[in-house]
Amino acid sequence: MDAERLSWGDHARLVDDIATRVTADGKPDVIVGVLRGGAVPAVMLAHRLGLRDVRTLTVVHTTADGVNAPKHTEPRVTDTGALGGVGGMDVLVVDDVAGSGKSIELAHRLVSGGNAKRIRTAVCVLNLGNWPEAAPTPDIVGRRVHRWVIFPWEVS
């Protein structure tokens, strides 16, 4: 299995680094976690930034769990209503990993459609092994790798 396992300590250090960089660029009004994996870093970031407004979007791109799981051609959103109103807000969209950029890009589009004042994206890990050259890089990246990553909350 060509994968990198992150411990809870590794993940906490990534979140701390992201929180420091977000704070330096201005604290957001709301954090939007891309479910499922983005929920954990979104809540951890909310605590570190002192934010209580955490929302979610369920964006499904892989067809199953597991290392190198196959993907749908395009990501799918199943709960657009969970986003709520973001008009005039500074929004931070957070995910655990970006492999193709499509999931976080879709989440960004949905937040943009809600007339947010400012939108930033953050991922704990950017998998350069799959990253297309034309994909926009998230604003804040905790770590860059060239293989699948297993987060501490995942079962493999």
For residue 144, give every residue at least 6 positions away whose Cβ sits within 8 Å of its Cβ, in sequence order, or none. 125, 126, 128
Omega into 48 within 30° of 0, i.e. cis?
A: no
Task: Give the fold, CATH level 3, of 3-62+75-150.
Answer: Rossmann fold (3.40.50)
Mean pLDDT lowest among 32-41, 44-53, 75-84: 75-84
pLDDT for the residue numbered 33: 94
pLDDT for the residue numbered 131: 84
Task: Quickly state the pLDDT bin for 37 (edges 50, 70, 90).
Answer: confident
For 107-130, what is the mean pLDDT? 92
Q: What percent of the chain has pLDDT over 90?
A: 56
Q: Which tens digits make up the pLDDT trace of 62-115? A: 555 555 555 556 666 667 677 789 999 999 999 999 988 888 888 998 899 899
Compute φ and ψ for 60, nearest 5 degrees.
-105, 120
Compute φ and ψ for 32, nearest 5 degrees.
-115, 115
Q: Which residues pair with 123 in a beta bridge?
A: 95, 141
Domain boundaries, the chain: 3-62+75-150
pLDDT for the residue numbered 99: 83
On average, the pLDDT of the chain sits at 87
For 33-61, what is the mean pLDDT? 91
Q: What percent of the chain has pLDDT over 70?
A: 85
Q: Which tens digits make up the pLDDT trace of 15-34? A: 999 999 999 999 999 999 99
DSSP per position, 124-138: EEEETTT--TTSPPP
pLDDT for the residue numbered 132: 83
